[in-house]
Amino acid sequence: MSALDKTALVLVIIGAINWLLVGVARYDLVAALFGGSANPISRVIYTIIGLAGLWAISLLLRPGVETRH
């Protein structure tokens, strides 16, 4: 697994935790840290995490990568 793969997975996990907080506590951590969900910095963070999610899809589709032990 490459460094890009690991970085993407970390970002996907951060995004999942943020969505968990939104769903359970109605608290958007990214918006709270960066000045609201409409703030350009927040939008960049959301975009980066979304791109990481798309990259993570490729991890499922790669041939030769064992997913079960």
Each residue of 9-63: pLDDT tens digit?
Answer: 999 999 999 999 999 999 999 999 999 999 999 999 999 999 999 999 999 888 8
Token duo for residue 27: 């608290």
Q: Positive or negative CA dihedral for 31, 35, 39, 43?
A: negative
The answer to whether 53 touches 12, Cβ cutoff 8 Å, is: yes
The confidence score (pLDDT) of residue 68 equals 60
Range of the domain at 47: 3-61
64 pLDDT above the threshold of 90: no
The answer to whether residue 69 sits within a structural domain is no
The confidence score (pLDDT) of residue 1 equals 84
pTM of the predicted structure, to 2 decimals: 0.81
The answer to whether residue 23 sits within a structural domain is yes
The confidence score (pLDDT) of residue 62 equals 86
The answer to whether residue 7 sits within a structural domain is yes
Please, what is the end-to-end C-alpha distance for the chain in angstroms? 16
How many domains would you assign to the chain?
1
The answer to whether residue 48 sits within a structural domain is yes
Token duo for residue 20: 């968990």
